Amino acid sequence: MARMYWYVGPIELSHMPKPLPSRSQIRQRADVEAWIAAQPRDTGKHQQLTATFIIDQALQLWLADQRSEHVVCARGAAVLAAGEISFVLEANRLIYCELTNQSTGYCPEPTTWTVVQQVLDSIGLPHAGAWATSYEFRRCPACAMLNLIKEHWFFCAVCEHELPRQWNCACLSSL
């Protein structure tokens, strides 16, 4: 069973703006192609278009503008996966997708790739079979700061306390 990830980022980013920014549900490859066609971009031969993505509890893929917060794309709900997806295009045709689990609001584990791959395969989106880049997140047990682990450095960027080796970014009721 896949883990559910609740929003754990800054509370001020979790407020739903009015009106809600657009997002697109992707059920089939044609939905992605329509979303890509609607986005402003360069017109060169080789292009890349990056978006925010989430996979909701119903295994549905949602896209939003890259500058969108994942929690807004998810409408505040828990997700099975979140990150960024880049569509690599050639002559305005989708060649493949590259994805990361970069979401400091949900802090999804690299193991969410299993769910992402399942959804991409069901839609028929070509991909490399793994994250282009995967990220590890940890919450500091001393100061509660969320940390992005870089180069296997498991120390808090704020207070330098040692961070746990296991994922621990679940919501804290005291925050």
75 lies in a domain? Answer: yes
Q: Which pLDDT belongs to residue 170?
A: 85
Q: Which pLDDT belongs to residue 57?
A: 96
153 lies in a domain? Answer: yes
- The single-letter code of the amino acid at 12 is E
pTM confidence score: 0.91
- The single-letter code of the amino acid at 173 is S
Same domain, 128 and 152: no
Express each pLDDT in 154-168 by its tens digit. 999 999 999 999 999
Same domain, 49 and 107: yes
Same domain, 149 and 95: no
Same domain, 84 and 154: no
- Residues 6 or more apart whose Cβ sits within 8 Å of residue 47: 41, 88, 89, 90, 92
Between 19 and 92, residue with greater pLDDT? 19
Q: Report the candidate in 63, 69, 66, 73 with the shortest Cα–Cα distance to residue 32.
A: 63
pLDDT at 173 over 50: no
pLDDT at 120 over 60: yes
pLDDT at 43 over 80: no
Q: Are 81 and 101 in contact (CB under 8 A)?
A: yes
Q: How many domains does the chain have?
A: 2
CB burial class (10 A; 0-12, 13-18, 19+) of residue 153?
A: exposed
Express each pLDDT in 57-66 by its tens digit. 999 999 999 9
Residue 31's domain spans which residues? Answer: 22-36+45-134
DSSP string, 62-85: EEEETTS-HHHHTTT--BSEEEEE
Kindly indicate the confidence band of residue 171, based on its pLDDT and cuts at 50, 70 and 90: low
111 lies in a domain? Answer: yes
Q: What percent of the chain has pLDDT over 90?
A: 79
